[in-house]
Structure 1
Amino acid sequence: MIRRTVIRRNVHGLGFEGMPRYPNLSVLGALRGLDYAGTMIFAVSGSILASMYGMDGLGCVVVGCITALGGGTIRDVIWGKSPAFWLDETEYLYMSIAAAAAAFWFCYYEEPGKQLLEFVVFWGDTLGIGAFAVIGTMYAVRMGFGIIITLVCCCITCTGGGVIRDTLVKRPVRVMHNLEEVYAEAAVSGGAAYLLARGAGLPLQVRVLVGAGTTIALRILATKYNIKNVSVPAVIGPLKA
């Protein structure tokens, strides 16, 4: 029998995992803020990528929203949680639609510099997966999963939307090909750091900082030193991003 867990909005303003429903001046409030920022940047990056592959405005908004919300949705579906997080906290859907639409409008009517886009997407993406890694881990811990399943949930939360995005635009899935610096590994490392801090009995606020900081630091180092996974040379033909 499939276990279905219904988690409803907290009437006192708290969202899932005990975080405040909206950002505030606290460590957990900052984590919620990073989650918002990461969601919007994921939507922007998905929309921009879709536009580069020739999709129209609707296609860009759809791909942008899937990129932003897909990982958390897959995570919720896998463990039978109902409803999916963005159906309860609808602000995530609204901000994803707005960010994806704005990105398409900007790319259509303006000629943004490549360096500006790369800067915004990289830092937003980096901060975003730092938040997603911790939030995905916290969700799994609250559900009572073991270490390995918790890290799998962490990875899915961070990368699931990107996997669907790459599939929709028909390009090699980033987290499965040696096309960019390590990504999923940084997310899982952040989740592992959170679990280690939890095992050491550190306060929740410290665990959040340790987990998110580990993921962010690894992403920055991997980009700075161009650290990629080892891969076997393609024998059919070169893969292109």
Structure 2
Amino acid sequence: MQGNKSVVRLKSSGFPLEVNTRTLKYNYEDGSTGFSSEITYSLGNTVVTINVTQEIYSGRVNAVYMDLSEGTGMGSFANLGLRVTRNKRYGILCNYMNTLFGGSYDSLKENYCAPPLPEREVVRYICGESGCGGCFTLEKKKKEDGAVVRVQATHDFIVGEETMHVKVKIRNDDGGLKVEVEGPVKLTTDYMNHVVSGMRRKMRSAIEASTVPLVRNDVAQRSPNVVGPKFISDDRVHLCFQRMRMHQGF
């Protein structure tokens, strides 16, 4: 087991943020092994644990488990779990992403799909007791045949004007899944919001670019008996725009 401990000073908190990182190794009865990268934040009574475990069999990483837990010490909690596996046909499979919140936690979940941009799933949450928040983003990059070649997961632990940022990159090649864990690093919350806003702008542009040809094609093929312009209304597109406008400053 290898470990490291550090203390980060935050402008918006009266408590220092203690950061612990360690690497663990497991041996299972079926002959497989596992390596786990564990990151723990301690801020007052709030404890956040991020665990990334690689399951290795015959020298190859076939599955990756990401588990996130956050507790306030006063009964409120946030849990998130993600399982990523290797598949011959579909590349990388994200089998599930489960979230569970209790107590004073409020959460918001958004999904973005606008090819050729990567698919993104964003979970944001905030705790009324501690005032801290978090943002978990899952990004999937696909080939033209639909196979996922790269997955990137990021987590931000937000304390006022600052955030602790962790990034996990997973790609598929002939030797199995390749996993990189970057961070934690301290960023400003403004920078993180800038990144998320840029992502939304790209998604909006991609959606608009894909819907304009549909409208033009429909107008060209409409019946000659129809008088006046005809417009296509895609409820999914409108819902996506509404979410962007409603939660732009979340």
Larger radius of gyration: 2
**TM-score range with shorter-chain normalisation?**
under 0.3
Structure with the bigger RCO (C-alpha within 8 Å, sep 6+) is 1
Which structure: greater strand fraction?
Answer: 2
Which structure: greater helix fraction?
Answer: 1
Structure-1-length-normalised TM-score:
0.27
